[in-house]
Each structure stands twice: as C-alpha cells, then as structure tokens.
Amino acid sequence: MSKSIYKLLIISCFFLLCISIPKVTAIVKKLDLISKVIILDAGHGGVDAGAQSGNIVEKELNLVLTKKLEKELTSRGAIVYLTREGDNDLSTTTVNRKRNDLYNRAKFINDISPNMYISLHLNSTTSSSWKGLQVFYTTKNKNSKQIAETITDHLKKKISNVREIKQDNTYYMYKFIKSPGVLIEAGFISNPGENYALRSEDYQNLLINSIADAIEIYFQNN
C-alpha cells in the first residue's frame, strides 16, 4: 500500500469515527424511554373549548402541544397513547357531560395503567398580569409529586416563567387516576406575553422538548 493511500485510509477512518459518535449518543439517549408507556391527555375538546383569549382557543392549542409531545416521546422510544386525537371530548352522555368526560378520561388512563400520564392545559384569568407555567399533582399516587418537581426544576432552566408546583386533590378527574402523573398548565393565555409566545412555533418546540427531557430525567432516576 502506498503511503498516500495509507494516509487517506487513516483520514477516512477518523472522519467516519467523528460522524458516527453523535449517532451513538443519539441512540443511547433514545433508550431511556423504551418500554415506557405514557398517556397524554389534551384538555377539553368538542363542545368544551376551555379557556379562550386573543387568538387562542385552549382545546385547539392543547391538542397541538399534545401531538408535538407525542411525536417527541415516540421518537425517544416511548409507547404513547392519547385520550383524544381530534376535536372531541370523551363524554358518552349529554347529562353531566363535563363530569362524564372527565370520568372517562380517568377510566382510559386506569385501563391502560401507564408509567406516567400528562394532562396538558392552558391557564386563563381576568387579570392579564398573571403568568407562568405551573405543574399540578395529587397525592393519589406517591410518585406524582416527584414528576411535578422534576418537570418544574428542569423547565425553570429552559423558560422564563415557571411557578412552583401545586398539590390539588380537589379536581374531579384526578381523584380516580391510580397511575403517576401530573397536569401541566402551560402558561396563561390571558397574559399578552405568554399568549404571544405560545403561538410561536419556536416557543412551542422549546417547551415540548424541555418537557420531554424532564420526563427522560425522571425515568433515568426511577
């Protein structure tokens, strides 16, 4: 073998090594969520629009964010189920429709018994100064508080407005859910700054990737 071919071979090997290292890292990262079953619950739907402010209708943006998170978690190896994939609620009756919708979401989650569920909502209030993403948990499952803490701690490093976690055992749906999980109010659409950010694709992607990273961190430690 001539010297120049030998040299070329070494350079080629080095080049191949360099381009293969990031790929290996990516595969290792993906393994963290393999075999994890996660249910994503987009709040509201159908006749129940949720909160509305400016151009944002909560049920619509909840579903957009949920589908982005589904895509991200699936790409990292998780098995993801959605409580709804279109503009509908889960009620099977017109009497006490809201209650029935929430009961059926809880039943959907209990029947699958996932490693984690995440409900996605958007907050709204009469005061436009209120802002910040907030994670809610119940004491029904002992792991839910740690999920709330992990997501909150990680999001604080990634986005500017994050509120402290809040325990809430009063919300009807969550009294029935046995699996670990949380409800994320992803920001106040009644706040002009957050309303603007939440409509931006870049912010949505940052938010969703950060939540997916936090879920991975949780499973790395549990």
Positions touching Zn ion (CB under 5 A) are: 43, 50, 121
Give 52 or 143: the residue with its C-beta nearer to Zn ion: 52
Minimum CB distance to Zn ion, residue 49 (Å) = 10
Minimum CB distance to Zn ion, residue 58 (Å) = 5
Between CA 215 and CA 222 the distance in angstroms is 11
Partner residues linked to 108 by β-bridges: none
Minimum CB distance to Zn ion, residue 20 (Å) = 45
Minimum CB distance to Zn ion, residue 195 (Å) = 15
Give 50 or 181: the residue with its C-beta nearer to Zn ion: 50
Give 43 or 181: the residue with its C-beta nearer to Zn ion: 43
Q: Which residue has the closest beta carbon to Zn ion?
A: 121
Between CA 126 and CA 130 the distance in angstroms is 9
Of 195, 216, 190, the closest CA to residue 126 belongs to 190
Between CA 180 and CA 119 the distance in angstroms is 11
Give 115 or 123: the residue with its C-beta nearer to Zn ion: 123
Cβ atoms of residues 206 and 158 within 8 Å:
yes
